Structure 1
């Protein structure tokens, strides 16, 4: 991994397993895994969510796709979203959880909890 610091091919799908493995190796090579307790990772995750929130704090509502944002603003957003994702993946890993499977299970539980009443009804999220 030490030699894999090239920007990845954006058309390649990245799995949570690949992220988990690369993060574990990254931390191990630096001797950081001893600091990656569930508590520490959660606190780091919360801090990153705060940084993500700051990006939107004073913008009001924004349109899907962020058409009025600059390339720099979008890059900053990508970086903060990535920080959140990476800490979340690490947290699940040190807790011994399969985050991908847990997410799929949660979608199924939500589908049962919120059944489709009328297929012609549009979601409030569209």
Structure 2
């Protein structure tokens, strides 16, 4: 990940794009690319969306847009000094606390019970 991020930074530097790669501009570009990814799925049914990678043309478009989203995210993180993997791990940690996993019987998976609101007893 770090090597790809460095490659993107070097690519932009070789073209003197740094003045344009501000956090605001990179966030906007990231949003545009995410929207282009969404556009591929816009009018598909859920079933069609699940099969989008079966068609070589649409699969190519999906891969290109995923690459664009990731490229802008990595450039955004480089501009602000954010380690994306560390940020993701911290967010998952917080979400695990905020949203404990529930078992099918309504109890908390791997933890203490939170109450009997789903109990039939």
Taking structure 1 as the reference length, the TM-score comes to 0.75
Q: Which runs of 5+ in 2 are unaligned?
A: 107-121
What is the deviation of 1:64?
7.5
Instruction: Name the residue aligned to 1:98.
Output: 83
User: For residues 51 and 74 of structure 2, what CA distance do their matches in structure 1 show?
Assistant: 26
Deviation at 1:92, TM superposition (A): 1.2
Query: Which structure has more RCO (C-alpha within 8 Å, separation ≥ 6)?
Result: 1
Distance 1:28 1:19 in 2: 14
Larger radius of gyration: 2
CA distance in 1, matches of 2:41, 2:10: 33
CA-based RMSD of the aligned residues comes to 2.1
Render the CA deviation track for 1:53-98: whole Å, top value 9, x for unaligned: 1100111213686267311110110001110111011111101111
Q: 2:11 aligns with which of 26, 32, 47?
A: 26
Which of 63, 66, 73 pairs up with 1:88? Answer: 73
Alignment match, 1:74: 59
Structure 2 residue 40 is matched with structure 1 residue 55: yes
In structure 1, list runs of 5 or more residues that go unmatched: 1-14, 122-126
| Change over 3 Å in CA distance of 1:34–1:54 after alignment to 2 | same
Please give the secondary structure, in 2, of the residue aligned with 1:62: helix
Q: Give 2:109's aligned residue.
A: none
